[in-house]
Amino acid sequence: MARTRSSNPVFTRLRSGAPAAGQSAWPPSSGGGTPTPEDLARIYRQPSSLTIDDVVMHTLGLFAITGVGGVAGWMLAEGAPGLVFGAGIAAFVLSLVINFTGRVSPALICVFGVLAGVMAGGASHLYENVYAGIIPQALLGTAVIFVTMLLAYRSRHLRATPRMARIVGTVLLAVVILSIIDVLLRLTTGSHLPVINDATPLGILFSVVVLVVASLQFILDFDSIERMIAARAPRSDAWVCAYGLLIGFIWVYMEMLRLLSKLRR
């Protein structure tokens, strides 16, 4: 049976080898009779398949690591903003490395979590200094979106499709490119891209559209996790699931901050 393919590029690139859906390491090679000690040793050495508990535990662990980075970024935001900015650049570069190497590396994923946390924590501090109380609002909004997407997926009201994956991937790439251009403009000319930053009707509409598309990333994540579990992927792929969910959370959270800041001007 052909291996199940994911509609999420993060999961597709990073999935490690796994038995195909419906394929099992049992019965052993001894022909279906009583397993020999060699058969039992071979089965025991093989990693067990991925479960939802594995995904939950690895996700909680990675989010805890990211939270530590977020606290560090919050503390560094005013005294060493350059470090926060550098962490954001490093997180972006590392995400490219993780995605294009195509191999599961828990160490790199954890380092990414720390760097992304520093970036998000530093940005949160800057937003909070200007718009008091915006951080709890953004966190609550992100949590509501996550739960809403989960319920919509579980009830089959929203399903992952190749078209959805293309839309989400295209918008994510566009946001990354526009953000890079915005940073370069700020560093070289002191100006910025109005559509990203200004609280104009067009700027608010842009943020709403991006936030809606970013929320669909969770649907792709849930679908990928479900497919990986059904395909009896190895437990190490829980790191891939956690990494994909973390990227979705950070994207939605940052877009929520940007939208709320525009609405409060």
Domain contains 39: no
Full residue range of the structural domain in which residue 256 is found: 48-263
Average pLDDT, integer, range 82-86: 91
Residue 101 lies in a domain: yes
More confident call, 243 vs 34: 243
| Angle at CA of residue 179, ends 239 and 89, nearest 5° | 50
- Residue 182's CB is within 10 A of a number of other CB atoms, namely 17
Kindly report the number of other CB atoms within 10 A of residue 44's CB atom.
Answer: 8
- Residue 7: per-residue pLDDT: 45
**Residue 33 pLDDT greater than 80, yes or no:** no
Measured between alpha carbons, how far is residue 70 from residues 127, 128, 251 in Å?
Answer: 14, 14, 15
Say whether pLDDT at 30 is over 70: no
Q: What is the pLDDT of residues 117-161, one digit of tens each?
A: 999 999 999 999 999 999 999 999 999 999 999 999 999 888 999
80 or 35: whose pLDDT is higher? Answer: 80
- Asked which of 33-37, 85-89, 259-263 is least confident by mean pLDDT, the reply is 33-37
Report how many domains make up the chain.
1
For residue 1, pLDDT over 50 is answered with no
Range among 63-67, 79-83, 189-193 rated most confident:
63-67
Residue 7, in any domain of the structure: no
Q: Is the pLDDT assigned to residue 2 strictly greater than 80?
A: no
| Residue 24 placed within a domain | no
Question: Is residue 178 domain-resident?
Answer: yes
| Buried/exposed 99-134: b ≥16 CB within 10 Å, e otherwise | eeeeebbbebbbbbbbbbbbbbbbbbbebbeebeeb
pLDDT of 24 reads 41
Q: Is residue 204 a part of any domain in this protein?
A: yes
Angle (CA) 192-77-199 rounded to 5° is 35
Q: Is residue 36 part of a domain?
A: no
Q: Is residue 219 part of a domain?
A: yes
Considering only 175-184, 234-243, 245-254, which range has the smallest mean pLDDT? 175-184
pLDDT at 43 over 80: no
